[in-house]
Chains A and B, each alone.
Chain A
Amino acid sequence: MAVTSRGVARVVPLAPAVVLLALFMLGPVVWSFYGSFTNAALTGPAALNPEWIGLDNYTALLGDPEFPKSLWLTVVFVFLSAVVGQNVMGILLAGLLRSAVKPVRSIASTVVVAAWVLPEIVAAFAAYAFFHSEGTLNTMLAGIGVTGPDWLYSTPMLAVIVANIWRGTAFSMMVYSAALAEVPPELTEAAQLDGANGMQRLAWVTLPVIRRSISTNLMLTTLQTLSVFTLIYVMTGGGPGTDSSTLPILAYQEAFKFAQVGYGTAIATVMIIVGAVFSVIYIRALRPEVD
């Protein structure tokens, strides 16, 4: 009896938060999952009475030639901009800034963090202005006598990947700065005394010590990058054609441009699965909980 009332007393203050979370976070997720099995649409007969159509959206998706391309572009985007770009740049910057003198450190980290502080829409327009055919990059190239290509049109994926690295590196850098500060100096000193060079100390001492941060950071940046929409939408609109249509762009297009909400939510569900696959890989590969 005493246990139950104490249990209730503990639950009550939590209830509002749980209810709000369930209502505004879990609710839409569950309904979106449910919606992916219906033919819900914005107009036409299905707008009034969406019908349960089972796996039809998923079979249509698998038969759609746009889908494998979009899935591939998403994987490329996430792998190059988050896994490789933001993480490697982040750890390099964090390492370099540790050994830099103070003014360099403050100036460099301010510049990097500025991109992170910008609202996404502003960052996206800045990147658009940078890569535009008459933008900053091509103006600078013209200054040294090089005619740059129309980046957003001829190499849209390269442009959005570089833009996303620019925008997201600050986050990884901060995570790794904190992690590196926690590496006990006696470990690296001991390794140094044993004759390990800089690369060896990084590979055999520093990285193993901070691998929990690596795994957490990889997961966070991956999930964040997987859902990047504004940046790509503003810069290329998913085009030209479908050459930079990652899954979020494709889902938006199907649901809100082509009014097929059910089909769009099916794509959203696939995104959740892709995110889950990435997460499982990190957890397996880096096993943060075993020491």
Chain B
Amino acid sequence: MRTARFFVAPVTAAALALSLAACGSGGGAADDSTITVAYQKFGNFTQADELFKKVKPAFEEANPGITVELVPIEAQQNDYFTKLALMNRSPSTAPDVMYEDTFMIKSDVEAGYLQPLDDYLAEWDEWDQFVDGAKEAGAGDDGKTYGVSMGTDTRGLWFNKDVLAKAGLPEDWAPKSWDELLEAARTIKESDPDVVPFNMYSGKPQGEAAVMQGFEMLLYGTGDTLYEDGKWVLGSQGFIDALGFVETVFTEGLAPTPQQALDTNIGNTVQGEWLPEGRVGIALDGSWVAGNWLESGAAPWPEWSEKMGTAPMPTQEGQDPGAVSMSGGWTLAMGAGSENPDAAFEFISMALNRENSLWFDVANSQIAVRTDVAEDPEYTKSNPTTKFFTDLVDVTNFRPATSDYPKVSNEIMVAMEAVMTGQQTPEEAAAAYDEAVAGIVGDENTTQG
């Protein structure tokens, strides 16, 4: 279907003109003396930008004649995927190296955007420093490795100790079930109606953050799951219950108003302003949040380690294992059309060598995936929450590793938004989700939960 590719060309061209104009950089990767590196830079997330700005001069010095062109894409997460996909469609704009979310790898491999790295990794003497989980996270459906992990993450509850103390909740607060969590949120609401008791991301504008930090943290604590034995689980009670939790927090006013929650910038606002200012009590969020508050972060807050507490996200009724977490992480991947793959890999290996991985994991509060970094005192002492979030690895879950996942994830955002705005009941939204997923993956790939 050669012809079918043509029609997207105008669309691609238009969108590219926009995205390239937006990031103020009109380069292409058409020759082998330039390595283009595409990555996200948005709001409080500037660590990747800093990392690549650090690596660029070192790389250019070590490789005379090769220029590194950095292409920061200033877009919210879902728009970042869209812009990256559009860049990848045209050989003249496809980057050599890209900042790639693990959950997009399988899908982008099937789209032909990425290049396997196995030959390079076999010769890279530092590859055995990476833990097995990180190696798997970068694999495509064909078993080859496409991404080199930059770090991983877990998710849990952050809380502002001052806000909880005011509501009479202890400093070592740790809910045992959803009900205890909701009870605490209601108590905070009573003690101070101006505070947002509980924040979770929800709805289409928050993209994968809503699905992973929000919905899946609930669903995987019900005993049900999204995907089991190669089939998508439909009609599970856990799915409805998780949506029911979303409905409760938004209709009872325990969460931000739906309009605030649907603002693209809520993530930056919560992490950069509301938590430090004590305007949010409890936040269901990622292990990297503290990265904002470090001196190198976007919203430095020196007192954060005294003011903020952490607790694992409980399972629905407190059933085993008592807590739940989700893990993901980002990788560096190589574009399929790279004119100079040797240099591109050289860049990746330099950006993720021991020193730079250590810098990135500390600055971005990532959980290290390199053994030598994980043992480094600079890493273990960098952040008082490192141990807490690293321990959550014991109860963590991974998203379904299939190329359909990004599409299914979109349907979860739609269901969340329908419930949080009161347009559908959890049952109706779950039924609409079931129908949509069956349409995406085919009835034969689904099972009743």
Are the CB atoms of B82 and A256 closer together than 8 Å? yes
Out of B78, B262, B403, which one reaches A240, CB within 8 Å? B262
Partner of B7, one of A40, A237, A256: A40
Q: Which of B1, B86, B423 contacts A42 (CB 8 A)?
A: B86
Name the A residues within 8 Å of B205 (CB-CB): 237, 239
Docked CA distance A46–B7 (Å): 14
- Size of the chain B interface, CB-CB below 8 angstroms: 44
Number of A-B contacts (CB under 8 A): 122
Q: Which residue of A has the minimal Cβ distance to B204?
A: A257
User: A218 in the interface, Cβ–Cβ < 8 Å?
Assistant: no
Q: How far is the CA of A52 from the CA of B404 in the complex (A)?
A: 20
Q: A43-B107, A47-B112 are in contact. Are A258 and B407 (CB under 8 A)?
A: yes
> How many angstroms between the C-alpha atoms of A150 and B263 in the bound complex?
14
Known: A47-B111, A48-B111, A50-B1. A259 touches B262 (CB 8 A): no
- A28 interfacial contact with B, CB 8 Å: yes
A65/B10 contact (C-beta < 8 A), A45-B110, A45-B403, A240-B258 known:
no
Contact indicator B406/A43 (Cβ below 8 Å): yes
Q: Do A42 and B5 contact each other (CB < 8 Å), given the known contacts A152-B259, A241-B417?
A: no
| Cα–Cα distance between A192 and B344 once the two chains are bound (Å) | 83
Query: Would A35 and B4 count as touching, CB distance under 8 A?
Result: yes
B85 CB contacts on chain A under 8 angstroms: 42-43, 47, 259
B226-243: CB near A (< 8 Å → 1, else 0) gives 000000000000000000
Q: Is B165 an interface residue (CB 8 A)?
A: no
CA distance A122 to B4 in the complex (A): 37
Which residue of A43, A45, A150, A242 contacts B259 across the interface (Cβ within 8 Å)? A150
Q: Interface residues of A toward B: which range?
A: 35 or more
Q: Does A155 contact B (CB under 8 A)?
A: no
* C-alpha gap A42/B110 in the complex (Å): 11
Which residues in A have their C-beta under 8 angstroms from that of B421? 239-241, 243
Tell me which of A48, A240, A242, A260 has the highest count of chain B C-beta atoms within 10 A of its own C-beta: A240
* Cα distance, A38 to B82, chains bound together (Å): 19
A49 at the interface (CB under 8 A from B): yes
**Does A32 make an interface contact (CB < 8 A)?**
yes
Contact B418 A241 (CB under 8 A): yes
- Going nearest first, the 4 A-B pairs with the smallest beta carbon separation are A31-B7, A47-B111, A42-B85, A50-B4
Interface residues of A (CB under 8 A from B): 24, 27-28, 31-32, 34-35, 38, 40-52, 60, 65, 133, 150, 152-153, 237, 239-243, 253, 255-261, 265
